[in-house]
Amino acid sequence: MRLDHYVTLGHSGLRVSPMCLGAMTFGEDLGWGSSVEESQQIMDRFIDLGGNFIDTANFYTRSHSEKIIGDHIGRHPARRDRLVIATKFSGNLYPGDPNGGGSGRKSIISACENSLRRLQTGYIDLYWLHNWDVHTPMEETMAALDALVQAGKVRYIGVSDTPAWKVVEANMLARFRGWSAFVGLQIEYSLLERSVEQDLVPMALEFGLGITPWSPLKSGALSGKYRRDKSGFDTRDRSQFLDPFLNERTFALVDELDAIAKAHESTVARVALAWVVGRPGVASTIIGARRLSQLEDNVGALDLNLTAEEVARLNALTAPAFGFPQSMQPMFPAIHNGGTTVNGLHAPIPGFGIPVKGEAPY
140 and 23 in a single domain? The answer is yes
Residue 2 covered by a domain: no
312 and 335 in a single domain? The answer is no
For 61: left if phi > 0, alpha if psi spans -120 to 50, otherwise beta; the answer is left
Closest CA to 333 of 319, 349, 354: 349
What are phi and psi for residue 119, nearest 5 degrees?
-80, -10
297 and 357 in a single domain? The answer is no
Closest CA to 10 of 244, 184, 189, 145: 184
Question: The domain containing residue 127 runs over which residues?
Answer: 7-318
Write the DSSP assignment of 141-182 as a string of letters: HHHHHHHHHHTTSEEEEEEES--HHHHHHHHHHHHHHT---E
Residue 307 covered by a domain: yes
Residue 170 covered by a domain: yes
* Burial call 104-132: b when 16+ CB within 10 Å, e when fewer: beebbbbbbeebbebbbbebbbbbbbbbb
Q: Are 18 and 299 in contact (CB under 8 A)?
A: no
Residue 1 covered by a domain: no
12 and 97 in a single domain? The answer is yes
**Residue partners of 324: CB distance under 8 A and separation at least 6:** none
Residue 50 covered by a domain: yes
208 and 351 in a single domain? The answer is no
Residue 129 covered by a domain: yes
Q: Are 70 and 119 in contact (CB under 8 A)?
A: yes
Closest CA to 206 of 156, 158, 168, 161: 168
Predicted TM-score (pTM) of the model is 0.93
| DSSP bridge partners of 346 | 341
Closest CA to 213 of 150, 279, 258: 279
300 and 328 in a single domain? The answer is no
121 and 99 in a single domain? The answer is yes
Nearest-angstrom CA–CA distance, 266 and 292 = 18
301 and 350 in a single domain? The answer is no
Q: Over the stretch 150-201, which tens digit does the pLDDT of each residue have?
A: 999 999 999 999 999 999 999 999 999 999 999 999 999 999 999 999 999 9
Residue 115 covered by a domain: yes
Residue 33 covered by a domain: yes
148 and 271 in a single domain? The answer is yes
pLDDT for position 117: 98
Q: How many domains is the chain built from?
A: 2
Nearest-angstrom CA–CA distance, 136 and 140 = 7
Q: Taking the CA atoms of the chain, what radius of gyration do you get in angstroms? A: 22
The SS3 call for residue 312 is helix
| DSSP bridge partners of 285 | 19
Residues (pLDDT < 70) of the chain are 1, 230-240, 353-361
Which domain CATH number covers 86?
3.20.20.100
Mean pLDDT score of the chain, rounded to an integer? Answer: 94
Triad 290, 291, 294: Cα angle to 5°: 95
Which residues form the catalytic set? 60
pLDDT for position 1: 55
328 and 228 in a single domain? The answer is no
297 and 334 in a single domain? The answer is no
46 and 181 in a single domain? The answer is yes
